[in-house]
Amino acid sequence: MSQGGIDWMSIAIVLAGVALSITAIVWIGTPLWPEQAQRAKSWLPYILGGLALLMAISTLMSAIGG
Amino acid sequence: MSEIFRAYLERQYRRSGAVAPHDRLQVVEDLLDKARSRGVFPVSETVLGRVDPDHPAVKAILDAPPEVTGSSRKSGLFAIQEKFDMKERPKWQQALILLGIVVAIMGSTLGIVWFRAARRHARAATTPTPKPTVTINLAAPSPTVVVYTATPLPSPTPLPPTSTPTPTPIIGEPAEDPAAPVSLEIIGPPLPVYKAELDDQGRWRLPANAVQWLPDSYIRKVFAVGPALSQGWALQTGQRVRVHTRGGYVEEYVLTRRIVNAPGTQVELMQGSRPSVLVVLPHTDSTEVWLAELPEAITWAHMPPEAKEPAWRAVIVVEGAHVREAPSIHAKVLHSLPLGTLLELTGQYVQGDAFVWYAVKSPYSGWVAQGVIRILDLNQP
């Protein structure tokens, strides 16, 4: 579960929460701030992809740590 | 809601001056009523179209459920979004709702993390920490304290060996110490010497055909010769006695005196302050005891008869040495002195019972035998 004293699973959970928060902001903000939401949507795939990668690494580290 | 109908509806709101939600709802209901009753529908912001409401196809569309007509009615999250109608709300409410959603998501996330940490902490608290075990290296020898208990002398002092009528088959074990004797030479060839063994009562059972040595008697070596071996011996003063040790050294002594009727409980017999040999020859009716000393010690033993003044100092070299009333081994014992006791002698000495006796001045008055003291101030006039 933790390797070197770091709780990697908790890090993965936090990253998942960040990803959900960003998604919620973009989804709710689209009708409210269309222009800003359009610009955010262009970056959203990269942001969510990076967060998913970090989550995968954290989960892997957690699995290695046992 | 299509863009065409929205534009038309906004125009109707402006034309009717409907601002409040109630007024706008009334406008919408009027439009619905027109559509159902007269078949009127907007085709643009300012143009209306019309169909026959009684036509079966039109009636089927108007009465069909939204899923069939492909209505833009949304479900699930989109329905919630439309229901909330965020665009109708003020900006601060929009920001507050959005912030609330984000806080709820991140709060849930952090709550999960906190719960995991708390559970891990609780598990660690309940799990006993293994105490370091003390490893005892059994292979390593542990220091031991040896409490030496001085083996007391056999009490009473071992009696002179008595000849047994029947010789025992066990002669004894040979001594192993390098300083211990292995053979005794008095008359004839050297005789093998064995270690004596005392019984539970401290009695020395001497085999008739053996020569035994009293163990641990190194200074004054005490030997006993069985009657079967000493038969026909006629010892004389001046006769040489040789003791062969296990270490290969040969000690030579000279018989100096014979002790007649030696009682068995005299410390003076068994103890000596200088190298000497005590040879015990038990016979059927008596026991013959001879003292042999080093040749160079003989001159020392024969002190000039004149008394010396002032008094000499001497030290007791035998534990329990006796101070007697008279210069005789049969005299009454006045005191028993411990090892190391300093004495002041008068200088007077006499010979009695094959011993030289010194008169003691202090701390006790009496007589002590030569063998139990060592004179310190030899040349003091």
Q: Which of residues 13-42 of A touch B (CB under 8 A)?
A: 13-14, 16-18, 20-21, 24-25, 28-29, 31-32
Contacts of B86 in chain A (CB under 8 A): 28, 31-32
pTM score, whole prediction: 0.34
Question: What is residue A53's predicted lDDT score, i.e. its pLDDT?
Answer: 92
Q: How confident is the model at residue B86 (pLDDT cuts 50, 70, 90)?
A: low
Across residues B249-258, what is the average pLDDT? 84
Contacts of B108 in chain A (CB under 8 A): 17
Closest CA to B226 of B268, B191, B202: B191
Q: How confident is the model at residue B349 (pLDDT cuts 50, 70, 90)?
A: confident
Among A1, A24, A32, select the one facing B101 at the smallest CB separation: A24
Pairing of strands B366-369, B355-362: antiparallel
Q: Which of helix, strand or coil describes residue B217?
A: coil
Q: What sign for the dihedral angle of Cα B369, B373, B374, B379? A: negative
CB contact under 8 A, B116 and A32: no
* Spatial distance between the Cα atoms of B278 and B222, rounded to a whole number of angstroms: 5
Q: How confident is the model at residue B274 (pLDDT cuts 50, 70, 90)?
A: confident
Nearest residue of B to residue A15 by CA position? B109
Question: What is residue B308's predicted lDDT score, i.e. its pLDDT?
Answer: 43
- The pLDDT tens digits for B304-314 are 444 444 457 88
Among B106, B117, B120, select the one facing A17 at the smallest CB separation: B106
Separation of CA B85 from chain center? 83
DSSP assignment string, chain A: -EETTEEHHHHHHHHHHHHHHHHHHHHHHHHHSHHHHHHHHHHHHHHHHHHHHHHHHHHHHHHHH-
Neighbouring-strand partners of residue B336: B322
Distances in whole angstroms, Cα of residue B143 to Cα of each of B140, B169, B284, B376: 9, 44, 54, 42
Q: Which of helix, strand or coil describes residue B321?
A: strand
CB B300 within 8 A of CB B276: no
B93 or B67, which is more confident = B93
- List residues in chain B touching A: CB distance below 8 A: 81, 86-87, 94, 97-98, 101-102, 105-106, 108-110, 112-113, 116-117, 120
Work out the burial of residue A31: count CB atoms within 10 Å of its CB; fewer than 13 is exposed, 13-18 middle, 19 or more buried.
Answer: middle
CB contact under 8 A, A28 and B81: yes
